[in-house]
Each structure stands twice: as C-alpha cells, then as structure tokens.
Structure 1
Amino acid sequence: MKFQTNIPLESQSENQIDYSSNVLLFGSCFSENIGEKLSYFKFKNTQNPFGILFHPKAIETLISKAVSGYVYTQNDVFYHNEQWHCFDAHSKLSRPSKEDLLNELNAHINVTALNLKKASHIVITLGTAWVYSNIETKQVIANCHKVPQKQFKKELLSVAEIEACLKNILNLIRSVNPSVSVIFTVSPIRHIKDGFVESTQSKAHLIAAIHQVLMGQSYYFPSFEIMMDELRDYRFYNADMIHPSPLAVTYIWEKFKAVWISEASFKTMEAVNVIQKGLQHEPFNETSEAHGKFLKNLQEKMKKLQSSYSHIQF
C-alpha cells in the first residue's frame, strides 16, 4: 500500500556537483536553504550576493549589471528610515552610511561577476511572478525597503515576459561561462500575502516559463512539486503554515542530492557530517581525559579531510 505520491526523478549522469565544483545560487530564501546544506557539507558555494531576490526580473538585473561591470554610484541609493538602501538589493545590504552601502554594493557586484565566470553550477530559485515597479522611474525593483506602497505599481509578469527574462539571464550567463550548468527551481514557499489564488497563478507562470527555456545545459528541479505532492501535510510546515519545516527542507535536499550530487562525494559528505556533529557536541566534563581524546580524534579527522580538500575549513 502506498500512502504518498512520488515525483519521478532521474539522477543526472553528467555535470553533477562534487567537491571540485563551484556552485552559485540566486533567488528566494529556498535557494539559501539549499545553500546552507551545501555549506554544511563543505561544498564550494556562493549564495545570493545581493541577498534574497524573489522574482526573475531582480535576478536578471543583478546578472546583467555584473556581466557589464556596472559601478554603483550615489544615484543608485536613497535614504529612508535612517538607513541607505538600493532598490536592486535586499535590505541586508542596507547601511547607515551611504559610502558603506556603495562599498557593499560594488564589492558584491564584483563577487557576482567573478563567480558567474568560475561557477560550474548556477542554481536559480524563483519565488514569485508578482513585481513592483517604481511609478516615477518605471524601474522594476527587487525590494521595497518599506517605502510607502503608493510609490509603486504591482503587476503580474506574464509567461511570455518571464520567458524573455529567463532567456536573457541564460544568454548573459553563457556570454561569460559557456559550459556552466544552470538549474532552475520554483520555491515551495507560497506568497499568500498576494492572495491564495494569486500565489498559485504566480507559481504557474514561473513553471510554464521555465519549461519554455530549458535546453542544453539548463535543467529543472521540482522543489515546488515535491512540497505540494510528496509533503502534502501541514506537519511539514513551520508554525506560519507557509514556510517548509527543517524536516521538509532536509527531505527536499535529499531529493536534490540524489539527482545532483555525485555519488563519489557521499563518503566525503559523511566524513564532514561526523566532524560537524562532533563540533556541536557538548561535553559533560570539558576537562576530562575522555573529552581530550575526543577532541584530538576530531582534529585528526579534520586534518585528514583538509589534506584532500584544501578549501574545507571548520
């Protein structure tokens, strides 16, 4: 008897992620969930240089400016609620000082440009097709930074608009890194502030558009479908009933691992996991001989792993 519907998944026979890979992740907070798993297991990765970006236009703007070598100036920032902000970036980059913000923006745009060129894999997680444009400048923004909503116009990107946006993203990426594998996924987090029907419509537009652009070294991973169909139970959600619980994130990560992580990396992942758990261990007696031996053994395991993978640091 089966009590669950399962999304059919096929392991990638080529271009899988291993410990020599460089992974660059853009998009909604679910991209950071995957990024945190990659970081835990010590894969080389860079997550959201401009912070969480929810819609494809924001990601397109970042990649376009990174590829073109854009330099942010005082014309790109504004002061609001005692902080300096940029409409292209998440508020985690906002700063009390204009100069500090510009330094942050230009440092992170350079990081983005560098990682676009050296990435072996780019994971793009799309969260919503709803966007806000500045009424005065007509600019589609990444983040409102709590500026009054009357200054923006809200609209739903059409499938055709998203398709054009994604094609441009792929062309920009290929212009600096022709061989990179690009993995698209749709965030399982529902944007119910837009409305239940509106959130579903938004996800449908994203999914339809992605499947119009998949070819060559671009792929789709069904995060949204796994959450909706395999984890169709509120016990897999956080208390807000919107975000996936840690258990759900781990479940989807295991599916991602089965498809995209090289089987040859599993042994190293387990060695990393043993060390990570050891570092989290809280001893009953820090001065005991047994704990001293435990720490020495842990250090030896770290040195052995680092002798094979110099980028791994604990």
Structure 2
Amino acid sequence: MNFRTNIKLQKERNQIDYNSKLVLIGSCFSENISKKLHYFKFPTFSNPFGILFNPIAIENLITNAINLKKYSEKNTFSLNERWHCFDAHSDISAITQNELLLNLNSAIKQTHQQLKNASHIVITLGTAWVYRFIETDTIVGNCHKVPQKKFLKEMLSVDEILASLQNTCVLIKDINPTATIIFTVSPVRHLKDGFIENTQSKAHLISAVHQIITTKNKLFYFPSFEIMLDDLRDYRFYSSDMMHPNETAINYIWEQFKYVWIDEKTFATLKEVDTIQKGMAHRPFNSSSTQHQQFLKTLHDKIALLEKTIPNIHF
C-alpha cells in the first residue's frame, strides 16, 4: 500500500547552474530556499528589504529598486527607540535615522543591479492579507508594532493580486527581458488570521499566480505549497508552532526544487560543495594534531581546486 500522494514534477527548461545569478524575494520560505542555494554556493541575492509577505509590498520593492528611489527622512519614523520604514522588515530597522536611510538606499541600489543581471528571480507570496496605514492610505510591508488601530486590515482580491503580479513582471522584463521568473506560494500557515481566512488568502494567491504563468514569457510556478499540503500532509513535517515547515520538510521541498530547477550537470559539484561545507564545520578534539593538520590541507586543496574550476564559487 502507498500511504503518500506524491506530486509528479517535471524538469523545467532554463535551469540553474553555477553561471546563474539568482534573486529571491518574498516570505520567509524564500529565506529557506535562499539558505540552501547559498549553502551550495550559487550566486544568490535574497530579500534586501527583509521578509515581505504580500504581493503589494513585493511590487513596491521592485518598483522602487528599478526606479532607484531615494529614501529620505519622510519615509521613516521612530518607535520603541528604533527607526523604521513601512516598506521594509524590522530586520532593516536601525538605532539612528541615518543608519536606516543608509541601509534602505544601499539595498535599493543593490537590488536594482541584481534585478538587471539576474538569470532567475524567485518570488514567494505569503499572504493576501494586507494592512493599510490610514494616515497615508498606503499598504505597508511591515507594521513594526505600530498600534493596530492605525491600520485597516484588508484581503486583496484575486484581480488586485493579478494586477500587482502583472506590474511586477512588466517592470522586471523592462530592464531584464531574458529573466526567468519563478513564483511560489509559501506553505507557512498564517493562522493568526484564522483557519478559514488563511485558506481564502492562499486560494487568492494561487488563483492569481496561475493566471499569469506562461512558459512563453518565462513565468513559472513551483508548487511548494502543494508539496507541503498534499504530499507531506502530516504534522510531523511541521515545527513545534504547527505553522512552519520543519527541517525535514524544507529539505524535502529543496530536493523537489533541485530536481525541477537545478541542472543535473551541477550535481557532482553540489556533492563536492557539501563535502567541503561539512569539513569546514568539523570541530576536532585536537586542533594541533598531525591528523587534523593533514585534514585541513586536504580541505584547503579541495577548495582551491573548486574555486579555480568554477570562478563563481567562493568559500
């Protein structure tokens, strides 16, 4: 008997190799895939404004990056002894206003360049629920614990999400016509919104994404949400909060992503990188022993050979 419903995936064209340049933007699931790509030493640029959950926040970041927006004092505010920006996650917040502005404008310039040169852009959508700041009538990327009475909570319609995704794709393709854009919906459950509300939110995202994907324009969908909900489908694959995928689930979804999107020709290199990474993480009982010194020399030689063979790999 088969106690699983495995999702049958097909390999895509325009696959990722060590000449690819990757940009990942969106929810915390983007962070998980980004960490895997970074571990295996693919050229990766991830979430310059920190984690962004909704399509409008992602669209705003890409719009501002492409237009090289200059953030100024009017785009920031102080709360709880830190300076924040509604467009960015609290990870970007700073103790001084100048430091925050430096962070924001530096990230904008980097994102502009990365989007221009990217071969693959992965956009992970987390939720269709958004918070509109009443004072400016704008949807924010992060509320930064500003009192909730200052916001209106809204659910984006399928049409609103579709329009946002279309704007995002047009903007990217305008400066980088050859980029492959991969959309995915985060399997993280936003249960603070409610069980029914979370399902409706994910349904809106999935419905909108499937109206925009087209192989002809290099717009693709990777089913991380479906792998988690319909393939793994068990609480043993969740972390203790019962909302986030645990390490086992993340590794499984990574293997599916690898099968679909990573060029098989790189698999031997991935294995070699993994060996080196584990060697670098090794902690000896006696760091001055002859055996350990020989181990370090062998490891150094492996790194030198790999970096020489593939210039994009750096340890």
TM-score by length of 2: 0.98
2:289 aligns with 288
**CA offsets 1:131-188 (integer angstroms, 9 cap, x no match):** 0001111010000000000000000000000000000000000010000000000000
Task: Show the 5 A alignment for 1:231-250.
Answer: 231-250=232-251
Q: AA paired with 1:170?
A: C
Which whole-Å CA distance do the structure 1 matches of 2:284 and 2:2 have between them? Answer: 43
1:3 aligns with 3
Which whole-Å CA distance do the structure 1 matches of 2:283 and 2:135 have between them? Answer: 56
Unaligned runs of 5+ in 1: none
Which whole-Å CA distance do the structure 2 matches of 1:260 and 1:191 have between them? Answer: 27
2:304 aligns with 303
SS for the counterpart of 1:70 is: coil
Which whole-Å CA distance do the structure 1 matches of 2:21 and 2:296 have between them? Answer: 31
**CA offsets 1:263-301 (integer angstroms, 9 cap, x no match):** 011011011000001111121221211111111100000
Q: AA paired with 1:221?
A: F
SS for the counterpart of 2:136 is: coil
1:102 aligns with 101
Q: Is the 8 A contact 2:22 2:119 kept in 1?
A: yes
Q: Is the 8 A contact 2:19 2:312 kept in 1?
A: no
SS for the counterpart of 2:182 is: strand
SS for the counterpart of 1:24 is: strand
Q: Is the 8 A contact 2:24 2:46 kept in 1?
A: yes
Which whole-Å CA distance do the structure 1 matches of 2:279 and 2:3 have between them? Answer: 36
1:144 aligns with 143
SS for the counterpart of 1:20 is: coil
Q: Is the 8 A contact 2:65 2:111 kept in 1?
A: yes
Which whole-Å CA distance do the structure 1 matches of 2:256 and 2:176 have between them? Answer: 27
The CA deviation at 1:239 is 0.7
Aligned residues: 313
Q: Is the 8 A contact 2:18 2:312 kept in 1?
A: no
Which whole-Å CA distance do the structure 1 matches of 2:139 and 2:201 have between them? Answer: 16
Task: Show the 5 A alignment for 1:64-103.
Answer: 64-103=63-102
The CA deviation at 1:91 is 0.4
The CA deviation at 1:238 is 0.6
Unaligned runs of 5+ in 2: none
Q: AA paired with 1:282?
A: R
Cα RMSD (Å): 0.7
**Higher mean displacement: 296-305 or 279-288:** 279-288
Which whole-Å CA distance do the structure 1 matches of 2:294 and 2:156 have between them? Answer: 59
Write out the 4+ residue segments of structure 1 that deviate beyond 6 Å after TM superposition. none
Q: AA paired with 2:76?
A: V
What percent identity do the matched residue pairs reach?
A: 57
**CA offsets 1:7-55 (integer angstroms, 9 cap, x no match):** 121001x210000000000000000100000000000010000000000
TM-score by length of 1: 0.99
1:129 aligns with 128
